[in-house]
Structure 1
């Protein structure tokens, strides 16, 4: 995970019970902050305000995130969820360490035992996620953190939960170089969707290039 940057003037100072101390990143779904509750450090993702438009949909979103809290192995565990001024947020375990994308950018492709551990760890994470009835829908090098105890998959459950807020959200939110055809052509989303992204992610880790030659960028 990136080193936290100072909070910007428009960033909140706190979200729910959590006091914010820095900005970890920003993307197509929202902003991610480093935060604390008592002595524990956590990552808080505040979704974009456009996802807060429908009250009933927000309730379904919260139920999806509660399901994601059941998954812990090889992931950044979901700890909490709520609303900040009507906007949904999700709290997860903070994983110190770079993303796979940052690791490859800094040191080149992975090989040997490092690549094997990455493959087995991320595959185990997807197995646990799918067993909980969740489809990630946005697996990519930026969503794999290389923690001190091995790779962790992050942001699982969020793309699935967004389906409850925006129609066909799982087909709108993704990264072209890692999206399966069914995310674009209205096919059936399922575990196989993540497996295509897993293969593309491992190809990137091993070669330093995107499997389908597409640039990084979000579809929204």
Structure 2
């Protein structure tokens, strides 16, 4: 955790990630609710032009409806730190999931619909995302959520892109953005096509490599969509048209995917949550523990158990009368690994030609080998 513990009224909990524009933290608001807080790079926040633009863009982002997005809750400055606060979304990002396996079936369709719905909500507020990519799509328990649109430049085609030009990710940016032309909503549609292709195949449609190489392919090559679900491929191909005018709108994507016209974003969001199967990140591996040579212990325990079992089979204590309840039938101890183990046979029950042997092993020595304590198990033995 950084030395800084608070930004504005928000307490920082831990770092979630870092990108070209700044650092993202899990934070808590004054009421104790969890939020995601993004701090901008200090050199950006020091520029007067950025400060003016930041306030304008943050206000626009707050107008975006929460449908399939992580809504912007707050924005401001704390000394020399510019920060943006959004709803915290629990779940892995798309890239983390696709690295394990591409999405298929209903989840791939739900992803395509959910991201298109988010773009429709963003565009209706007059905002262009400009950096739609797998790491900016979080897979929550109820479906995909698009994030990081709060620092996108307003959809103002009267001025060329400046700071926002550097925000795109080569594998997912549109040809017009790659060439430094003015960027409008159609650019996000191209990014949607590249993102859905990646989600369904596990690879970007214009390949990987150096930024200049990938940008050249984005501008000049056709996308490689081999292996993409044939039900969704035609729409992805349309979204990846080089000419922005030939691409569908976000609303058009929703309508095509859901098979009916003018689907409201609220209805599309409900459909996504109803068909989405939650995905989880692979659990972090447990801390490595030093391995102990347990083979001598196991050999000794098994020998003691089998010996006790044979003794029981001969003595047949179940035929005795007047035994105190809870008294072990046979017990034995073994010394190994500088410790002592007590092996206790609790019962032996006849089941036809088979006897069920119930036994307990307890570490009673001074060296407790990690305090693993008492272990119970059961075995069967012919008698």
TM-score w.r.t. the length of structure 1 is 0.87
* Unmatched segments (≥5 aa) in structure 1: 1-6
Where do 4+ consecutive residues of structure 1 move more than 6 Å?
none
Conserved in 2, the CA contact under 8 Å of 1:47 and 1:89?
yes
Deviation at 1:64, TM superposition (A): 1.4
Conserved in 2, the CA contact under 8 Å of 1:33 and 1:45?
yes
Counterpart of 1:29 (choices 21, 36, 45) is: 21
What is residue 213 of structure 1 aligned with on the other side?
207
Q: What SS does the aligned partner of 1:75 have?
A: coil
Larger RCO, structure (CA 8 Å, separation 6 or more): 1
What is residue 14 of structure 1 aligned with on the other side?
6
Tell me the distance in 2 between the aligned counterparts of 1:57 and 1:48.
Answer: 11
What is residue 148 of structure 1 aligned with on the other side?
141
Deviation at 1:56, TM superposition (A): 5.0
**CA pair 212-56 structure 1, distance change in 2 beyond 3 A:** closer
**CA pair 69-215 structure 1, distance change in 2 beyond 3 A:** farther
Is 1:172 the counterpart of 2:166? The answer is: yes
Tell me the distance in 2 between the aligned counterparts of 1:17 and 1:57.
Answer: 22
Instruction: Note the 1:1-220 alignment, pairs <5 A.
Output: 7-9=1-3, 12-37=4-29, 38-71=31-64, 72-106=66-100, 108-160=101-153, 168-215=162-209
Conserved in 1, the CA contact under 8 Å of 2:170 and 2:178?
no
TM-superposition CA deviations, 1:4-48 (whole Å, max 9, x none): xxx134xx2110000001000001111000000122100000011
What is residue 4 of structure 1 aligned with on the other side?
none
* Superposition CA RMSD, Å: 1.8
Q: What SS does the aligned partner of 1:199 have?
A: helix
* Unmatched segments (≥5 aa) in structure 2: 212-383
**CA pair 202-189 structure 1, distance change in 2 beyond 3 A:** same
Deviation at 1:90, TM superposition (A): 0.2
Tell me the distance in 2 between the aligned counterparts of 1:63 and 1:24.
Answer: 26
Q: What SS does the aligned partner of 1:155 have?
A: coil
TM-superposition CA deviations, 1:160-206 (whole Å, max 9, x none): 27x9xxx7112112211011122232212001111111100000000
**CA pair 141-216 structure 1, distance change in 2 beyond 3 A:** farther
Conserved in 2, the CA contact under 8 Å of 1:46 and 1:88?
yes
TM-score w.r.t. the length of structure 2 is 0.51
Tell me the distance in 2 between the aligned counterparts of 1:197 and 1:135.
Answer: 11
